Amino acid sequence: MKNNTIDYDHVSGIYDKVRTGDPEMVHQLMGGVALRSTSRVLDIGCGTGNNTLLFAKSTNTTVAGLDLSYGMLSQARTKAMALTFTHAPADVLPFGDSVFDFVFMTEVVHHLPDVPTTIAEAFRVLRTPGAFCIVTQSHPQIAMRMTSRFFLGTISVDQARYPSIPQLQNYLLEKGFSNVEPREYIFKPVRLGLDYLETVERRGYSMLHKISDEEYHRGLDDLQKTMRSRECLDYAAGYTFVWAFKT
């Protein structure tokens, strides 16, 4: 088993402060699947529940969150008391067979020790028909991040940590999914400002824990100087939504 993750219990307070639910992300997820008010949805690796809550409010479906970090879950539970949050690893889902209509995972797959087993578990808990969506970044998308400009070493670290899109497609097909389709999406550009700087200063992105302290401080210094120079840091993040269906 690989250990790809960071101590989310430790960073949960910072995470919740600097990463909020993303309406564009939720909009893309909603657009890929037909749901009814009776549909049951599972957010694997839900973190502090921001997207879980937004998805529940936007679709009026019953959404459950699952995560391995007690710290992240306790933040989720305070803000979304009406939703169910379960502590469990993604590769041993504590649910029966065929109970969900839609399962999604946003920015989680690179943390998982066993991606094929997690995919097999998602397949098992889905009803037929059912949909699964893995939201991640392709290797070229990783190289295009703003963080890659200041912390060059994060590119190779994350390209090694993130399964490639073809690899995910193969796993999905092997575990029984059909109509597997990666869809690239570019989020609307945002101007990175003090929130971004604060996130980096708090090492709020997991890849910043995977480079040396020396490289981290060099990159942070460069970022601080760039911000002081008033150069505009406009960034449009590219993501890949890998859709797969149980038919």
Ligand X SMILES: C[S@@+](CC[C@H](N)C(=O)[O-])C[C@H]1O[C@@H](n2cnc3c(N)ncnc32)[C@H](O)[C@@H]1O
Residues forming contacts to ligand X in the complex (CB under 6 A) are: 5, 8, 19, 45-47, 50-51, 67-69, 72, 89-90, 106-108, 111-112
∠ Cα 133 152 105 (to 5°)? 10
Beta carbons within 8 Å of 109's beta carbon, 6+ residues apart: 115, 118, 134, 136, 162, 163, 168
CB of 55 to ligand X, least distance (A): 11
Q: Least distance from C-beta 231 to ligand X, angstroms?
A: 28
In this structure, what token pair is assigned to residue 126? 């889905």
DSSP for residue 110: G
- For residue 146, the minimal CB distance to ligand X (Å) is 17
Rounded to the nearest angstrom, the gap between the alpha carbon of residue 239 and the centroid of all alpha carbons in its chain is 10
For ligand X, the closer of residues 69 and 148 by Cβ is 69
Nearer to ligand X, 50 or 240 (CB): 50
Of the CA atoms within 13 Å of residue 25, those in its CB half-sphere come to: 24
Q: Nearest-CB residue to ligand X?
A: 47
* Minimum distance, C-beta of residue 51 to ligand X, in the bound complex (Å): 5
Smallest gap from Cβ 111 to ligand X, in A, equals 4
Residue among 61 and 106 whose Cβ is closer to ligand X? 106
* Nearer residue to ligand X within complex by CB, 108 or 200: 108
Which residue has tokens 């809550």?
Answer: 53
Q: Which is nearer to ligand X, 86 or 224 (CB)?
A: 86
- The C-alpha atoms of residue 182 and residue 37 are separated, in whole angstroms, by 27
